[in-house]
């Protein structure tokens, strides 16, 4: 309410002040014979105070002045003049005016202070996010760079001789570090693509089965210690999706599963769709396509599930590595294709990522007979 | 090979040039270098190299334009080596006549393999009557495809697709190119045909169609036939 009213244009605020003071005053006019004008003064004070809670200072001052004039003109004897008979009433009017003013100014000051605090809070939060980003970034980029520089220094060192075996180990470390660096840069680039809003999905017919196996092939080194199950219909229809974005989505999810599940954990990929598609192709009808990627690892801490898709969010007890970008990229790429992603823990342990796309679907039987 | 194979590298980054010089020279290739498009075009004309490695992000001119200008007369393989790895950029480069592309960062082993494939296609003429890969043989004169001595039944479309892929072995063929060649010009955006027929062909010639050895997917770009 506060925010809505404070967005009202100044001109309209003046109007609101004049209207509410006049309306309340005219209502009081009917009761002039039973009610003391002091009571009317209190009522008008309440109106001014209420206005002060929501509106800018100038309109509030106007309503204070206006209500004082109205009080004098209509309610303090003699009526319909600005004359006042008794000294008591003069004092009353004077006090009324002062209290209304102080009320307006004080409320205004409080609100101003509140606003300042809010801005400060936002700033503090932004700083926190920025620091978190810097922390994880500098860690994620500097660690592999240190590994590379250190390994090279040792290899080049003229004062120590290292065994051939150790030399090979150092080479391997350099390789691992550069792959890690590349992975992080790739994440950062994807994130900035998302942030800049330049992603325009290029929808084309995708063979999801081919896509999934292609991703698994790219990740085969990371999946050496996992059992991977692909549950995909042999006659899977084609879905109209962006191949590159969808590939990245599935890549990140499977990569995550491979990194954060214990050795030997099972990773399952499933594609489900509406079987009605088998009848005929309707170029205007979007149908659901659901890709599920689940594992039987430890799952996510329940209280953190809502946050895992947030940018730079990393689980509290997460092992080192990762910038907290992977899943937020996944979410961004899913949403860029009008899809939705959810994460749930399974009762018997493990986590389930479900991605639902509304897509055009084409059954392939008609084409394949040629 | 009797005379040393000559490779021209057009790349503005001195680190990449150094890396390529060492890698290529130690693998027996003779190398030339150019730092920008202008020099590159000149060097290509002067040396007539057997293969060109071209970076797309050159300081003076868009690599795509250099590629186009080269292709006006240069017939040997051109491999693109670039940080620009968007599908659009890759497809554009292939359409402009590049034989292959590799995005930076790249593995040198991969680059060497691509160079070998490109050069092999240069030496071998592509119209050998019978080609053998894995357990599959294809006889272009009689249009017969065999798997372990047994004749494979391929539809006309499957056969056309397979033979185009084989004749361009090692080369990335874009979706559009394959669709135009096999189905005709008006089909160039009907990717669904390609998806279906590639899946069918894989079922017939690959040992494990889900992990293809021969017909390799180039994400969002096209397909490559691979025999090595």
Nearest to A48, CA basis, from A24, A81, A28: A24
Chain A closest-CA separation from residue B188 CA (Å): 12
Phi then psi for residue A236, to 5 deg, are -60, 130
Spatial distance between the Cα atoms of B7 and B164, rounded to a whole number of angstroms:
27
The answer to whether the Cβ–Cβ distance between A362 and B197 falls below 8 Å is no
Q: Which residues contact A227 (CB under 8 A, 6 or more apart)?
A: A264, A265, A266, A267
> What distance in Å separates residue A199's CA from the closest CA in chain B?
12
Which strands sit side by side in the sheet containing B144-147, from one edge to the other?
A: B130-133, B136-139, B144-147, B150-151
Taking the CA of residue B219 and the nearest CA in chain A, the distance in Å comes to 7
CATH architecture of A204-369: 2-Layer Sandwich (3.30)
Question: CA A295 to CA A345: how far, in whole Å?
Answer: 10
Query: For residue A341, what pLDDT is reported?
Result: 94
With CA atoms as reference, the chain B residue closest to A178 would be B105
Q: What is the pLDDT of residue A234?
A: 83
Using CB atoms, which residue from B155, B195, B220 is nearest to A205?
B195
Domain ranges of chain A: 2-117, 144-196, 204-369
Q: Is A264 on the interface with B (CB under 8 A)?
A: no
**How far is the C-alpha of A209 from the C-alpha of A215, rounded, in Å?**
10
Dig out the tokens for B9 from the structure.
């590298």
Asked if B196 and A368 come within 8 Å (Cβ–Cβ), the reply is: yes
CA distance B190 to chain A (A): 8
pTM of the complete model = 0.74
pLDDT tens per residue, range A2-22: 455 556 777 888 888 899 989
Query: Is B75 in CB contact (< 8 Å) with chain A?
Result: no
pLDDT of the residue at A318: 65
Strands B144-147, B172-174: parallel, antiparallel or unpaired by DSSP? unpaired
Task: Look up residue B114 and give its two tokens.
Answer: 């691509």
DSSP states along A146-175 = HHHHHHHHHHH-SS----HHHHHHHHHHHH
Closest CB from B87, B199, B211 relative to A207: B199
Per the listing, tokens 């393999």 go with B113
Residue B226 backbone dihedrals phi, psi, to 5 degrees: -130, 125
Q: Is B125 on the interface with A (CB under 8 A)?
A: no
Residues of A in contact with B220 (CB under 8 A): 202, 243-244, 247
Q: Chain A contact for B196, CB < 8 A? A: yes
In angstroms, how far is the first alpha carbon of chain A from the final one? Answer: 65
Q: Test B219 with A370 for CB contact under 8 angstroms.
A: no
ipTM over 0.95? The verdict is: no
Coil, strand or helix at B147: strand
Contact A209 B199 (CB under 8 A): yes
In angstroms, how far apart are the furthest CA atoms of chain A? Answer: 111
What residue ranges of chain B have pLDDT lower than 50?
1-2
Token pair recorded at residue A282: 């309707």
Among the partner residues B155, B191, B200, nearest to A204 by beta-carbon distance = B191
Q: What is the pLDDT of residue A319?
A: 62
A230 to chain B: which residues are within 8 Å by CB? 210
pLDDT for residue A370: 59
Contacts with A209 from chain B: Cβ below 8 Å = 199, 210
The per-residue pLDDT for A2 is: 47
What's the rounded Cα separation, in Å, for the pair A306 and A156?
49
- pLDDT < 70: residue spans in chain A: 1-7, 276-281, 316-323, 368-370
Residue A66 parent element (H or E) = helix A57-70
Question: Are the CB atoms for B51 and B118 separated by under 8 Å?
Answer: yes
Q: What pLDDT is recorded for position A332?
A: 92
**B87 contacts chain A (CB < 8 A):** yes
> What local confidence, expressed as pLDDT, does residue A290 receive?
94
Q: Hey, is the C-beta of A210 within 8 angstroms of any chain B C-beta?
A: yes
From CA A226, how far away is CA A257, in angstroms rounded?
9
pLDDT at site A193 = 86
Instruction: Of A233, A353, A250, give the one whose Cα is nearest residue A294.
Output: A353
Q: Per-residue pLDDT tens for A130-144?
A: 777 777 778 888 889
Which residues of chain A neighbour B193 with C-beta distances below 8 Å? 367
CA angle in degrees (0–180, nearest 5) for A268-A269-A275: 130
Q: Which of A178, A202, A214 sits opposite B219 (nearest CB)?
A: A214
A183 touching chain B per CB within 8 A: no
Query: Going by C-beta distance under 8 Å and a sequence separation of 6 or more, which residues neighbour residue A352?
Result: A292, A293, A294, A343, A344, A345, A346
């Amino acid at each position: 309410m506060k925010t809505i009213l404070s967005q009202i244009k100044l001109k309209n605020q003046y109007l609101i002040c004049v209207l509410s003071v006049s309306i309340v005053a005219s209502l009081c006019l009917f009761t002039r014979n039973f009610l003391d004008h002091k009571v009317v003064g209190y009522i008008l004070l309440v109106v001014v105070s209420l206005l002060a809670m929501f509106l800018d200072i100038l309109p509030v001052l106007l309503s204070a002045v206006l209500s004082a004039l109205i009080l004098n003109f209509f309610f303090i004897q003699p009526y319909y003049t600005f004359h006042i008979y008794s000294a008591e009433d003069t004092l009353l009017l004077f006090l009324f005016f002062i209290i209304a003013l102080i009320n307006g100014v004080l409320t205004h000051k409080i609100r101003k202070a509140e606003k300042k605090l809010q801005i400060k809070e936002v700033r503090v939060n932004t700083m926190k996010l920025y620091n978190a980003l810097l922390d994880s970034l500098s860690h994620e980029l500097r660690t592999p760079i240190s590994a590379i520089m250190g390994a090279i220094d040792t290899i080049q060192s003229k004062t120590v001789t290292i065994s051939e075996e150790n030399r090979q180990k150092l080479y391997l470390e350099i390789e691992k570090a550069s792959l890690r660096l590349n992975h992080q840069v790739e994440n950062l680039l994807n994130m900035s693509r998302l942030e800049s809003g330049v992603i325009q999905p290029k929808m084309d017919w995708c063979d999801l089965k081919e896509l999934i196996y292609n991703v698994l092939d790219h990740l085969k080194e990371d999946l050496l210690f996992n059992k991977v199950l692909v549950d995909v219909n042999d006659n899977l229809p084609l879905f109209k999706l962006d191949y590159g974005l969808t590939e990245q989505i599935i890549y990140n999810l499977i990569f995550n599963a491979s990194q954060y599940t214990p050795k030997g954990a099972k990773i399952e990929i499933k594609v489900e769709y509406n079987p009605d598609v088998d009848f005929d192709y309707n170029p205007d009808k979007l149908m659901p396509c659901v890709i599920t990627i689940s594992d039987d690892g430890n799952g996510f801490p329940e209280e953190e599930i809502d946050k895992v898709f947030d940018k730079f969010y990393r689980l509290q007890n997460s092992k080192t590595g990762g910038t907290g970008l992977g899943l937020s990229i996944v979410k961004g790429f899913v949403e860029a294709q009008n899809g939705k992603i959810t994460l749930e823990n399974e009762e018997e342990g493990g986590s389930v990522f479900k991605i639902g796309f509304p897509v055009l679907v084409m059954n392939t039987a008609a084409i394949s007979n040629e | 090979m009797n005379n040393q194979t000559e490779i021209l590298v057009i790349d503005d980054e001195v680190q990449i040039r150094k890396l390529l010089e060492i890698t290529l020279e130690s693998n027996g290739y003779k190398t030339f270098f150019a730092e920008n498009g202008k020099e590159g075009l000149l060097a290509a004309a002067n040396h007539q190299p057997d293969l060109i490695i071209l970076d797309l992000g050159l300081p003076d001119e868009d690599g795509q334009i250099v590629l186009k200008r080269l292709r006006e007369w240069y017939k040997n393989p051109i491999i693109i080596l670039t940080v620009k790895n968007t599908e659009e950029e890759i497809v554009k480069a292939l359409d402009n006549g590049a034989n292959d592309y590799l995005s930076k960062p790249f593995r040198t082993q991969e680059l060497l393999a691509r160079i070998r494939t490109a050069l092999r296609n240069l030496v071998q003429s592509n119209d050998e009557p019978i080609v053998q890969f894995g357990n599959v043989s294809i006889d272009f004169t009689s249009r017969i495809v065999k798997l372990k001595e047994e004749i494979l039944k391929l539809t006309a479309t499957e056969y056309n697709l397979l033979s185009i892929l084989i004749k361009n072995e090692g080369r990335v063929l874009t979706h559009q190119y394959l669709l135009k060649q096999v189905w005709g010009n008006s089909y160039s955006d009907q990717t669904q045909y390609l998806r279906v027929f590639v899946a069918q062909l894989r079922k017939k010639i690959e040992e494990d169609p889900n992990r293809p050895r021969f017909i390799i997917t180039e994400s969002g770009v096209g397909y490559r036939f691979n025999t090595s």
